[in-house]
């Protein structure tokens, strides 16, 4: 066996093939192929049966096989305000929640990155820790806090700030709280990763050259933290757009988000083609950001490995 192959020179050709091939095969079969099927189903007609949609290739009575492409599902998306409204609403909610996450997450990440080194790990662990407990249960906790006779209202009335319970649960505010709460760690971690690498002498240099703290923050810290900001925002925005649990449990019946509509379409109305069409639409919408994220995530990894 010739072990000294190209590249790392460490692994035989067959070993290399196995290392790449196995996960590649799995992801292709269970991640890539399913999208092709979703695309196919989105073009088919709903019908009663199992599965509840008509095949694209149908053989007519006279033995002719014909391709039936049905774009009604997509037309419906743009016709019915239920769908495009939900789509636009999702994007808006996700965008606002992302900004809120950034506003809270940045100073926290900054504070952790600037804390004494021995405090950094514990502080960071405290950010990650809630993530290890059940997401569903953490969202559920907010029901008890936000509902009309919940903890927040009891407390606010108790200290005399309000005398009528605030209606927070089942409003967009509750959805924002839920998303910020659930996705905050995803914002803080990439921000922390870039901020902790930031060379403090750069800030000293800026101060030395006459920049006030706020100016050096704006002109030095912020631009250098940009990769972390981009990664953090995408890690919040993309999944939040398709979020189901949070709007379902905390949102009102009017604040429809695309994930919830898709769920309802699928489970309650058993309309698989329409649900698929929504998935395709959502996917197309999110492909751009995902590709962007992938670039920013793996480019670092790619550029530092080359041997000089």
Partner 1 sequence: MGRRSYWVIAAMIIGYVFLYGPILSLVIYSFNESRLVTVWGGFSTKWYGELLHNEQILSAAWLSVRIAALNASVAVVLGTLAGFALARFRRFRGRGLFTTLITGPLVMPDVIIGLSLLLLFVAMEQAIGWPAGRGMLTITIAHITFSMAYVAVVVQSRVAQLDPSLEEAAMDLGAKPVGVFFAVTLPIIAPALVAGWLLAFTLSLDDLVIASFASGPGATTLPMVVYASVRLGVSPQINALATLIVGVVGFAVLVAGILLARQERLAARSSD
Partner 2 sequence: MAPKTPPWQDPDAIPLVRIDGVTRHFGDVYAVDDVSLDIYPGELFSLLGPSGCGKSTLLRLLAGFERPDAGRLFIDGVDVTDIPPYARPVNMMFQSYALFPHMSVEQNIAFGLKQDRMARAAIRDRVGEMLTLLKIEQLARRKPDQLSGGQRQRVALARSLAKHPKLLLLDEPLGALDRKLREHTQFELVNLQEQIGTTFVMVTHDQEEAMTMSSRMAVMEAGRIQQIGTPTSVYEYPANRYCAEFIGAANLIEARVIEHADGMVTLKPADWDGELVMAQETPLVAGTQVTVALRPEKVRIGTPPDGAGGRVRGRIEDIAYLGDISIYHVRVPDGPRIQVTQTNLVPRAEQPLTWGDEIDLWWTHRGGVVLLS
Instruction: Convert residues 211-250 into a mask of x (bound to partner 1 by CB under 8 A) and - (unbound).
Output: --x--------------------xx--xx-xxxxx--xx-
The correct pick among 87, 102, 272, 274 for binding partner 1 (CB under 8 A) is 272
Closest CA to 180 of 223, 229, 142, 145: 142
Which of partner 1, partner 2, none has residue 2 at its interface (CB below 5 to 8 Å by kind)? partner 2
Task: Give the binding range for partner 1 (CB under 8 A) out of 15-23, 60-68, 70-78, 81-89.
Answer: 15-23
CA distances from 213 to 143, 192, 228, 235 (A): 41, 20, 21, 29
Provide the minimum distance between the beta carbon of 7 and partner 2 in the complex, in angstroms, as a whole number.
11
Which of partner 2, partner 1, none has residue 308 at its interface (CB below 5 to 8 Å by kind)? partner 2
Which of partner 2, partner 1, none has residue 104 at its interface (CB below 5 to 8 Å by kind)? partner 1
Provide the minimum distance between the beta carbon of 62 and partner 1 in the complex, in angstroms, as a whole number.
25
Provide the minimum distance between the beta carbon of 15 and partner 2 in the complex, in angstroms, as a whole number.
13
Are the C-beta atoms of 175 and 206 separated by less than 8 Å? no
* Residue numbers 150-209 binding partner 1 by CB under 8 A: 150-151, 154, 181, 184, 200
Q: How far apart, in Å, do the first and last CA atoms of the chain sit?
A: 28
> Rounded to whole angstroms, how far apart are CA atoms 159 and 179?
28
> Rounded to whole angstroms, how far apart are CA atoms 244 and 249?
9
> Rounded to whole angstroms, how far apart are CA atoms 90 and 98?
12
What are φ and ψ of residue 164, in 5° steps? Answer: -115, 135
Provide the minimum distance between the beta carbon of 289 and partner 2 in the complex, in angstroms, as a whole number.
33
């Amino acid at each position: 066996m010739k072990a000294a192959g190209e590249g790392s020179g460490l692994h035989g050709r067959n070993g290399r093939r196995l290392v790449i091939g196995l996960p590649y095969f799995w992801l292709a079969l269970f991640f890539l192929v399913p999208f092709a099927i979703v695309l196919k189903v989105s073009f088919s007609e709903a019908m009663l049966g199992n599965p509840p949609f008509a095949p694209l290739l149908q053989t007519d009575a006279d033995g002719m096989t014909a391709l039936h492409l049905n774009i009604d599902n997509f037309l419906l998306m743009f016709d019915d305000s239920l769908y495009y409204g939900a789509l636009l609403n999702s994007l808006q909610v996700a965008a606002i929640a992302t900004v809120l996450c950034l506003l809270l997450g940045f100073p926290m990440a900054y504070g952790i990155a600037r804390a004494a080194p021995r405090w950094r790990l514990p502080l960071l662990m405290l950010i990650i820790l809630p993530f290890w407990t059940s997401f569903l249960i953490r969202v559920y906790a907010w029901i008890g806090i936000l509902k009309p006779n919940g903890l927040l209202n009891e407390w606010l009335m108790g200290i005399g700030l309000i005398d009528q319970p605030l209606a927070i649960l089942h409003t967009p505010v509750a959805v924002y709280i839920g998303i910020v709460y659930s996705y905050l760690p995803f914002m803080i971690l990439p921000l922390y990763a870039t901020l902790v690498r930031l060379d403090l002498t750069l800030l000293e240099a800026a101060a030395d050259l006459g920049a006030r703290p706020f100016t050096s923050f704006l002109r030095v810290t912020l631009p250098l933290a940009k990769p972390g900001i981009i990664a953090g925002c995408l890690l919040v925005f993309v999944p939040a757009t398709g979020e189901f649990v949070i709007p379902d449990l905390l949102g009102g019946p009017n604040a429809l988000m695309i994930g919830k509509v898709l769920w309802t379409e699928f489970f309650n109305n058993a309309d698989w083609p329409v649900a698929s069409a929504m998935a395709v639409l959502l996917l197309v919408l999110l492909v751009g950001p995902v590709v962007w994220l992938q670039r920013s995530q793996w480019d670092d990894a790619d550029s530092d490995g080359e041997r000089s």
